[in-house]
A = this chain, B = another copy of it.
Amino acid sequence: MARINANYLKLKAGYLFPEISRRVSAFAKAHPERQIIRLGIGDVTKPLVPAVLDAFHQGVDDLASSDRFHGYGPEQGYDWLIQTIIDKAYKPLGVELDVSEMFISDGSKCDSANILDIFALDNVVAIGDPVYPVYNDTNVMIGRTGACDARGYYEGIVYMPCTEENGFLPAFPEQKVDIIYLCFPNNPTGAVATREQLKGWVDYALANDAVIFFDAAYEAFITEPGIPHSIYEIEGAKRCAIELRSFSKTAGFTGVRCGLTVVPQELKASDGQGGQVALNALWNRRQSTKFNGVSYPVQRAAAAVYSATGWAQVQQVIDFYMENARIIREGLQAAGIRCYGGVNAPYIWLKTPAGLSSWDFFDRLLDQCSVVGTPGSGFGPSGEGYFRLSAFGERANVEQAVERIRNGWGQ
């Protein structure tokens, strides 16, 4: 009989967001009169901006005409989109990239999962804790781990705790690792790495011949000057880092689907036979064989994000979400709740009051304030005792949620 990939059976059954849905549904049923405000899942709520919509429509119109029809495009993405991103998003940071080094995809989630394809299974992988669950689960699914222990740690993965004590910036792994996932601004903690901190990681990776997967999906939310937006702002990073970016949060593309991955030509890994191979060529082969490029009108829409008008409009939306973040952060602080993030990221990571567990706080917040957030323990064991609120939402809802929390939890 055909046999399944039994690594899938190691995955814990209960995923975070279905459990949240279940509890919210039960609450809503029991309390039909209560107006529930959701600050849980990190999905955008604002419409696409006009410049992007115009370009999207134009892209569709092109497909109406024999002369401007676009069939199969390059699996790597169209040069005009890649060059635009390089010129508008990387050159201003002092980062030079060649068109061949960037690959347009249908989203960072896919890329962060698929990038594992080009690495040997015996690489040792380090991930943060708490962490975006996809990093963890895809390593389990591909067969890099043993079973899950009682804490929720899979055998074979090196977990890097990110806690209040270390400012949510993990220490370097004590054992030898080959692949390191970093996400700044971080989901879920909202933490960022300074230039010096990021340089520490690049130097560490170079010294240890490790590859960094740098997830910069939230870089557009950085408001403080001096915080790196790209790992390639750090000297030497092109020799050790792959960077992922996304249009999802930057430009409201969660339902449109577009992201990108940078694999510098200088970046090499061992072939296991004493030679070295450029990862760019491998990723190119992977994408050419297993992917067929991003929808043409979507690429047109993505390029418009970087027009002068588009960027100004997108920036207004980001400013709006970051004002939400400020309202949530300051409201929580006024209620005596310690919180982090929300300055360079659309997430507020709060320490649950009174030593409550993440899920107990979830239940109390839902019961007392009718506000839904995300239990920190759902992102990993070190997230226990923390809670994530998202700054995506309508202003009136955000303000009301904060008021309810101040009334529910304030001194």
Contacts and interface: CB of A to CB of B under 8 A. Distances in A.
Interface of A: 1-6, 8-9, 11, 15, 41, 43-48, 50, 53, 56-57, 60-61, 63-66, 69-73, 106-107, 109-110, 113-114, 117-123, 134, 137-138, 141-142, 178-179, 209-211, 252, 254-257, 269-273, 276-277, 279, 282, 285-286, 288-298
Contact of A282 (B8, B41, B295): B8
A209 B178 contact: no
Chain multiplicity (copies):
2
B107 A3 contact: no
Given A4-B271, A141-B290, A257-B292, 14 more contacts: A2-B123, A2-B209, A2-B211, A4-B118, A4-B120, A6-B120, A6-B273, A11-B285, A45-B66, A47-B64, A47-B65, A57-B60, A72-B254, A134-B289
Contact of A141 (B48, B269, B286): B286
B257 A1 contact: no
A296 B47 CA distance: 13
A5 B107 contact: no
Given A289-B137, A289-B141, A271 B6 contact: yes
A260 to B, nearest CB: 14
A147 B272 CA distance: 16
A45 B71 contact: yes
A8 B118 contact: yes
Contacts of A11: 285
A113 B289 contact: yes
A366 to B, nearest CB: 21
A110 B2 contact: no
Nearest to A293: B257
Nearest to A258: B295
Contact of A3 (B15, B66, B119, B292): B119
Contact of A119 (B2, B71, B295): B2
10 nearest CB pairs, A to B = A1-B209, A113-B290, A3-B120, A71-B254, A43-B71, A2-B178, A70-B255, A1-B270, A255-B296, A2-B269
Contact of A114 (B137, B271, B290): B290
A5 B72 CA distance: 28
Contact of A269 (B4, B109, B269, B294): B4
B295 A257 contact: yes
A53 B63 contact: yes
B60 A72 contact: no
A121 to B, nearest CB: 8
B282 A63 contact: no
A178 B71 CA distance: 35
A73 B141 contact: no
Contacts of A256: 63, 295-297
Most buried by B among A57, A179, A255: A255
A110 B117 CA distance: 14
20 contacts: A1-B269, A1-B270, A2-B123, A2-B179, A4-B118, A4-B271, A5-B121, A5-B282, A6-B120, A8-B118, A11-B285, A45-B66, A45-B69, A45-B71, A110-B291, A138-B289, A255-B296, A256-B296, A256-B297, A257-B295
A107 B272 contact: no
B178 A4 contact: no
A269 B271 CA distance: 34
B122 A3 contact: yes
B110 A290 contact: yes
A3 B271 contact: yes
A51 to B, nearest CB: 12
